[in-house]
């Protein structure tokens, strides 16, 4: 086997290998970006990549992604391939949670700040060229800020607004701004919305909403749809699995606003990438809506995060939603306007969950089983980071493999800023018998950092074994949290779970859910919402973690409907009968 692999490495690319550029039809969360190293904990010796607080702007039929401490931004023409852009001028080393907006031919950019910082503009953001629109944004009258700002331009009135706030004490504020006077403030800021965790279960802080700490409201964003104004916000805090986006709705950009009964809009407390708060909503070239957010990693630091993106939209009643069902499985990038909220899901199932792994070496107690446990906070560390390191995943039977994702971890890293030495290189092989291997992808020619590298195969392959051959990482350690393998099995999907029950607690913010375990199920999706035809919310739970769930995200006084589906390597069951709880 070793000799055969060496031959493949010499002769180069097999028929199954192609460059990860043109031809990619899908993406997988977290987004495959060269996340920049974060220097904020340099004085404490903590090194990690991070991405958070995303704003994706559709500008001149292309896309620009801004975020926290990104050392610039990313540019894409297709929502799959992202190129990092370093601006020609930047106000501070670490821009946090910037506001960005495209109006007509101009893109505006405001860093998040408590101090006076400039507003930039550009008509060519793909080049990195910026000009000053306002060299010193004034201090916000009567409040501090603008922290976590968001611009909004009303296309029907040509009026401009700024929303801001990040606090567990103060609300989200709004203020009208004057474009003709370089965004001078027009009047005084107005408190618009704030949290009510005593009424809204999902606004409670902590893992699964179990902390008594006062929650945070932040990450404002405004979307206008059919004459209504949807003021969105992130809560209850970025540190845990329940970070989510909600919305209030009004008839005027400055309110009053009414809490949407279907909140949270975007919510993903289960699965591989958990937490989806503090993002934005945008439309692509075809008019499809998307909702972005911040997912929680927290290996080296509690604010170690990644960026995610989900199909979103508004239903016939004006209800806003983001579809996080199978939200970290591969999805198609649309080439037209979709009408079915699930149309972008490829149907490629997770093949690797808890499958056996063998490795070339391992440090200390960093078990190889972590590579397939769907948990970004556990990981395998090799004895060295040299190119002789490898790992093999045994899927236990032959599957139709379509895509893979390799997720690296910054274990004891010593890097605090990205430069030309920071890139990721490896090869992936597939085999039906563990003896003869086919090269699936070869990234040895790349000079881009890909801590969450997503590889869509140009054609599917029947394989039981997947092999990772290491080549290079800049970190002093080779550490991998998860290698995720997607495709199809040749068996039957699981049965629909029986005896599905949902019982509301005496605290009406909580509901206790139980079902009968399904043999062979990899996991389950709890589907829920405020009407039988509005089950827009999903809580994913893996099959080895029990057959019950306490969901603590309900709104007092709101009726709900629940269903469940099971999934395995072969597909998804039919959903159960819907259970209503008043």
Look up the CATH number of the domain holding residue 575.
2.60.40.10
Measure the CA–CA gap between 249 and 228, rounded to whole angstroms: 7
Backbone angles phi, psi at 207, to 5 degrees: -60, 125
Check whether residue 304 and residue 447 sit in a common domain.
Answer: no
Domain assignment present for residue 23? The answer is no
Check whether residue 72 and residue 184 sit in a common domain.
Answer: yes
**Tokens 């259970």, residue?**
579
Backbone angles phi, psi at 367, to 5 degrees: -70, 145
Check whether residue 506 and residue 446 sit in a common domain.
Answer: no
Domain assignment present for residue 144? The answer is yes
Domain assignment present for residue 338? The answer is no
Please check whether residue 355 is in contact with residue 568, taking contact to mean a CB–CB distance below 8 angstroms.
Answer: no
Any idea of the CA torsion for 268, 273, 276, 281, to the nearest 10 degrees?
Answer: -110
Nearest one of 74, 72, 108 to 90, comparing CA atoms = 72
Which tokens in the block code for residue 553?
């995200």
Measure the CA–CA gap between 54 and 90, rounded to whole angstroms: 18
Please check whether residue 273 is in contact with residue 30, taking contact to mean a CB–CB distance below 8 angstroms.
Answer: yes
Which helix (H) or strand (E) element contains residue 512? strand 511-514
In angstroms, the Cα distances linking 55 to 3, 48, 75, 167, 546 are: 48, 21, 12, 20, 37
Q: Could you tell me the residue range of the domain that residue 557 belongs to?
A: 501-581
Residue 143 has what pLDDT?
87
Check whether residue 463 and residue 508 sit in a common domain.
Answer: no
**Tokens 């008043």, residue?**
582
Domain assignment present for residue 336? The answer is no
Q: What is the CATH number of the domain that holds 11?
A: 2.60.120.260
Check whether residue 151 and residue 58 sit in a common domain.
Answer: yes
Q: What is the pLDDT along the chain (582 residues), one digit of tens a residue?
A: 333 333 333 333 333 333 334 467 999 999 999 999 988 899 899 999 989 999 999 999 999 999 999 999 999 999 999 999 999 877 555 688 999 999 999 999 998 876 778 899 999 999 999 999 999 888 888 888 899 999 999 999 999 999 999 999 999 999 999 999 999 999 999 999 999 999 999 999 999 999 999 999 999 999 999 999 999 999 999 999 999 999 999 999 999 999 999 999 999 999 999 999 999 999 999 999 999 999 999 999 999 999 999 999 999 999 999 999 999 999 999 999 999 999 999 999 999 999 999 999 999 888 899 999 999 999 999 999 999 999 999 999 999 999 999 999 999 999 999 899 999 999 999 999 999 999 999 999 999 999 999 999 999 999 999 999 999 999 999 999 999 999 999 999 999 999 999 999 999 999 999 999 999 999 999 999 999 999 999 999 999 999 999 999 999 999 999 999 999 999 999 999 999 999
Domain stop point among 488, 523, 549: 488
* Plot region of 553 (φ>0 → left; ψ -120 to 50 → alpha; else → beta): alpha
For the question of whether the overall pTM of this predicted structure is more than 0.85, the answer is: yes
Domain stop point among 328, 358, 376: 328
Check whether residue 292 and residue 219 sit in a common domain.
Answer: yes
Please check whether residue 310 is in contact with residue 290, taking contact to mean a CB–CB distance below 8 angstroms.
Answer: yes
Which tokens in the block code for residue 519?
């043999």
Q: What is the CATH number of the domain that holds 73?
A: 2.115.10.20
Domain assignment present for residue 334? The answer is no
Check whether residue 89 and residue 34 sit in a common domain.
Answer: yes
Bridge-based pairing of strands 452-472 and 106-110 is: unpaired
Instruction: Name the β-bridge partners of 250.
Output: 229, 257
Domain assignment present for residue 340? The answer is no
Check whether residue 358 and residue 285 sit in a common domain.
Answer: no
Which one-letter DSSP state was computed for residue 9? H
Check whether residue 59 and residue 146 sit in a common domain.
Answer: yes
Domain stop point among 424, 456, 488: 488
Please check whether residue 481 is in contact with residue 376, taking contact to mean a CB–CB distance below 8 angstroms.
Answer: yes
Measure the CA–CA gap between 82 and 109, rounded to whole angstroms: 19
Check whether residue 284 and residue 412 sit in a common domain.
Answer: no
How many of the other CB atoms lie within 10 Å of CB of 559? 13
Question: How many structural domains is the chain composed of?
Answer: 3
**Tokens 């379509």, residue?**
402
Which tokens in the block code for residue 162?
């700024």
Spatial neighbors of 473 by CB under 8 A, at least 6 apart, are 385, 408, 424, 425
Which tokens in the block code for residue 285?
């070239």
Spatial neighbors of 60 by CB under 8 A, at least 6 apart, are 102, 105
């Amino acid at each position: 086997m070793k000799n055969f692999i060496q031959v493949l490495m010499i002769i180069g690319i097999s028929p199954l290998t192609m460059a990860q550029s043109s031809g990619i039809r899908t993406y997988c969360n977290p987004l495959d970006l060269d996340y920049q190293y974060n220097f904020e904990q340099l004085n404490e010796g903590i090194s990690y990549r991070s991405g958070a607080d995303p704003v994706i702007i559709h500008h001149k039929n292309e896309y620009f992604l801004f975020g926290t401490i990104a050392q610039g931004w990313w540019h894409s023409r297709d929502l799959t391939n992202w190129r990092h852009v370093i601006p020609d001028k930047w106000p501070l080393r670490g821009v946090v949670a910037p506001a960005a907006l495209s109006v007509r031919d101009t893109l505006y950019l405001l860093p998040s700040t408590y101090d006076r910082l400039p507003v930039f503009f550009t008509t060519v953001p793909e080049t990195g060229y910026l000009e000053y629109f306002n060299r010193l944004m004034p201090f916000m009258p009567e409040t501090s800020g603008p922290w976590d700002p968001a611009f909004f331009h009303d296309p029907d009135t040509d009026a401009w607004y700024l929303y801001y706030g990040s606090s567990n004490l103060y609300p989200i504020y709004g203020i009208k701004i004057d474009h003709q006077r370089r965004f001078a403030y027009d009047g005084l800021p107005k408190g618009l919305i704030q949290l009510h965790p005593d009424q809204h279960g999902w606004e409670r802080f902590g893992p699964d909403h179990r902390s008594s700490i006062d929650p945070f409201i932040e990450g404002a964003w405004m979307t206008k749809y059919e004459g209504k104004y949807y003021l969105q916000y992130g809560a209850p805090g970025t540190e845990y699995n329940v970070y989510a986006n909600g919305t209030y709705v009004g008839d005027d950009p400055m309110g009053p606003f009414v809490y949407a009964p279907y909140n949270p809009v975007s919510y993903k407390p289960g699965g591989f990438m958990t937490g989806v708060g503090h993002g934005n909503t945008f439309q692509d070239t075809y008019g499809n809506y998307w909702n972005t957010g911040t997912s929680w990693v927290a290996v080296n630091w509690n604010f170690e995060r990644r960026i995610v993106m989900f199909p979103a939209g508004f239903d016939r009643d004006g209800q806003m939603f983001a579809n996080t069902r199978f939200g970290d499985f591969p999805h198609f990038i649309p080439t037209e306007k979709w009408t079915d909220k699930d149309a972008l899901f490829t149907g490629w199932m997770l093949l690797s969950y808890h499958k056996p792994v063998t490795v070339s070496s391992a440090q200390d107690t960093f078990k190889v089983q972590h590579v397939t446990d769907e948990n970004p906070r556990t990981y395998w560390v090799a004895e060295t980071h040299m190119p002789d390191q490898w790992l093999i995943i045994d899927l236990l039977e032959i599957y139709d493999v379509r895509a893979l994702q390799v997720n690296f971890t910054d274990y004891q890293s010593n890097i605090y800023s990205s430069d030309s030495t920071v890139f990721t290189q490896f090869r992936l092989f597939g085999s039906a018998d563990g003896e003869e291997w086919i090269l699936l992808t070869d990234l040895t020619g790349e000079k881009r950092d890909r801590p969450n590298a997503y590889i869509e195969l140009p054609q599917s392959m029947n394989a039981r074994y997947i092999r990772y051959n290491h080549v290079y990482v800049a970190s002093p350690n080779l550490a991998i949290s998860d290698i995720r393998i997607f495709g199809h099995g040749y068996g039957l999907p699981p049965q629909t779970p029986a005896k599905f029950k949902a019982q509301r607690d005496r605290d009406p913010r909580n509901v206790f859910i139980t079902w009968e375990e399904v043999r062979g199920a990899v996991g389950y999706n709890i589907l829920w919402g405020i009407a039988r035809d509005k089950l827009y919310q999903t809580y994913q739970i893996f099959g080895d973690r029990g057959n019950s769930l306490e969901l603590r995200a309900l709104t007092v006084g709101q009726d709900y409907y629940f269903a469940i589906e099971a999934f395995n390597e072969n597909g998804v069951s039919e959903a159960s009968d819907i259970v209503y709880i008043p």
